[in-house]
Amino acid sequence: MKSAFFLSTLLLLGNSLLAQIEDKRGIVAKGAQLEKVKDGFSFTEGPAVNRQGDIFFTDQPNDKIYRWNPNSNQITLFREGAGRSNGLYFQLDGKLIAAADLNNELWEIDPQTGKETVLVPSFRGKKLNGPNDIWVRPKGGLYFTDPLYPRPYWEGIRGKEMEQDGQHVYFLSADRTELFRVAEDLKQPNGIVGTPDGKYLYVADIGDKKTWKYEIQEDGYLTNKTLFCEMGSDGMTIDERGNVYLTGKGVTVFDRNGEQIAHIPVPENWTANVAFGSLTRNTLFITAMGSVYTLKMKFRGVW
C-alpha cells in the first residue's frame, strides 16, 4: 500500500511540475499565470497586433477573424468570410495582411471597411500552395511562407498535389511590383518573424524540426543561412530582448543565441501561434486549438 501511495504521489507531483512554467531568465511577469480568455473555436491561428494593442486572430476552419480588446478582455467578430485566412500581420499603415488560402492568395484588408484587396493571386502562372504565415519588415515589403497543408475545401487536384515545385519562402516588395522566392531549400517552412531592426529573419522549417536565421539584404533577398535551433514551429514572435518564441507543444522560448530559456505549457493538444498584445505590448496572446490564452510577460513584444 505504501509503495502504491508513494508512486501515485510521485506521478501527481510529476504532472504538477510538468504543468509549471519553466523560466530560467525571468521573462514571465512575477506571479503571472496562464489565463484562458475564451474557448469554443475550432482552430485558432494568426494573432496580429494593431497600434492600439488589439489582437486580431483567425478561426481558420470556420472562416472567421476575431478581435480581442485587451482593456475589456472581450472578443468580438471582426469578419466572417475571411478567405480561410490563416496567418495575419499588420502593416505600419494599419492595413491587415492575411494569408487567405481558400484560393491560395495573399490579401490586404482595410480594418475600417473590412474590404479586401488581393495582393498575390499566383506565382509564375500557378496558384501558391497555401500562404501560411507573414512578417512585414520595418522598411516595407513582406515575407511569407508557403507550405502545403491540404484542405478539405480544396477540390480536385488542388487537394492532392502542390501547385508550386516546392514549399518556399517569398518576398513581396513594398510597392507590390516584385514577388520572388528567398528560400527554396526548406522542407516545410511555416512560422516566420524578423528582428525589429529589420536585419535578421527567422524561419521555422516545421517539416525538418529546425529554425533558421538569415541576414536580410536591402533588396529583400536573404543571405548567411545559419541554424538557430533544433526545433520547428507553427507560429513565432519575438520580444524586445531578442528572445524568440516558438510554438507546438506549448510555447518554447530561445534567447538570441539559440539557447532555450523558457517553456510555457498550454493545456491543449497543439499551440499554433503567439503575439504580444495590449498597449504596453507585455501580454503574450496564445492561440491553441479551440481556445485562446494570455500570459503577462516581463519584457515587451516588438511591432
CA distance 252 to 230: 12
Check whether domain 31-296 has CATH 2.120.10.30, yes or no: yes
Q: Say what the pLDDT of residue 144 is.
A: 98
Band of residue 151 on the pLDDT scale cut at 50, 70, 90: confident
Q: Say what the pLDDT of residue 287 is.
A: 98
Q: Which of 69-78, 110-119, 159-168, 243-252 has the lowest mean pLDDT?
A: 159-168
The grid cell for 202 is 527567422
Band of residue 249 on the pLDDT scale cut at 50, 70, 90: very high
Calculate the average pLDDT of the chain.
Answer: 92
Q: Say what the pLDDT of residue 163 is.
A: 87
pLDDT tens digits, residue range 13-30?
333 334 699 999 999 999
Is the pLDDT confidence value at 184 over 90? yes
**Cα separations (Å) of 13 from 5, 10, 17, 31?**
12, 5, 6, 20
Q: What is the mean pLDDT of residues 249-254?
A: 98
Is the pLDDT confidence value at 110 over 90? yes
Is the pLDDT confidence value at 10 over 80? no
Q: What percent of the chain has pLDDT over 90?
A: 87
Look at residue 230 and give its three-state secondary structure: coil
* 138 neighbors 163 (Cβ within 8 angstroms): no
What is the DSSP annotation of 72-128?
Answer: TTEEEEEEE--TTEEEEEE-TTSPEEEEETTTTEEEEE-TTT--EEEEES-BTTB--
Between residues 12 and 263, which one has the greater pLDDT?
A: 263
Residue 249 burial class via C-beta count within 10 angstroms: exposed 0-12, middle 13-18, buried 19 and up: middle
Residue carrying C-alpha cell 545559419: 226
Q: Say what the pLDDT of residue 45 is.
A: 98
Band of residue 158 on the pLDDT scale cut at 50, 70, 90: low
pLDDT tens digits, residue range 17-69?
346 999 999 999 999 999 999 999 999 999 999 999 999 999 999 999 999 99
Band of residue 87 on the pLDDT scale cut at 50, 70, 90: very high
* 27 neighbors 253 (Cβ within 8 angstroms): yes
Band of residue 7 on the pLDDT scale cut at 50, 70, 90: very low
Is the pLDDT confidence value at 280 over 60? yes
